[in-house]
Amino acid sequence: MTGRTNSRALSAVILLAAMTLSCGPRTEEAKIREFLKETAALAEKRSFDALMTRLAPDFRDFRGRDKAAAASLIEGHLRRSRGIVIHVLSVKAGEAEAGGDTPLQAEILLSSGPAEALRRLVRYAGETYRLDLRLGPSGRAGRQIRYAAWEEVPVSGLFPESVKALKDLFPGL
């Protein structure tokens, strides 16, 4: 990078930071959406160790798997998949409970295999899932996933905001 390119990049970063600060405090739901997008990005990059920091030590899923069993499941999926793309379509966060846990539902689009451009070309969106999560507070990561349940949901069963996000990603779907 040239000095000019570096200064442009730095200017852009400063501008984005200023815009973010001037927009006022982010809502809890916006923070949770960002946490989920960051978690999805870790999965897409196959950053297994960083991904595991997102699961609480007392994690359990709807089948009773603990953190170690979930880690094995995730590691196997990452190993088998040639490429993973995860789009967070919508997030509905509940009120934080007395213990600090926040229940939420999120809908995601998960696809693996060919490149994103090819998926758009053939209008293959992937599989849509509804996640039921409980996020707990964590000093280091800010929050961690304490509980997870998921089910595949047909496009016709998605929340309206998820359908809109899906159509924005794949016009004509």
Domain that holds residue 150: 27-169
Number of domains present in the structure of the chain: 1
Residue 16 falls inside a structural domain: no
Could you tell me the CATH number of the domain that includes residue 67?
3.10.450.50
Q: In what order do the strands lie in the sheet with 142-152?
A: 55-61, 142-152, 127-138, 102-112, 84-93
Confidence of residue 124 (pLDDT cuts 50, 70, 90): low
- Mean pLDDT for the stretch of residues 161-168: 92
Compute CA distances 2 → 8, 10, 11, 57, 129, whole Å: 10, 12, 14, 45, 44
**Average model confidence (pLDDT) across the chain:** 80
Between residues 32 and 19, which one has the greater pLDDT?
A: 32
pLDDT digits (tens, 9 = 90+) for 29-55: 888 999 999 999 999 898 999 999 999
pTM to 2 decimal places: 0.77
Residue 11 belongs to some domain of the structure: no
pLDDT at residue 7 is higher than 50: no
Is 117 or 77 the better-scoring residue by pLDDT?
Answer: 77
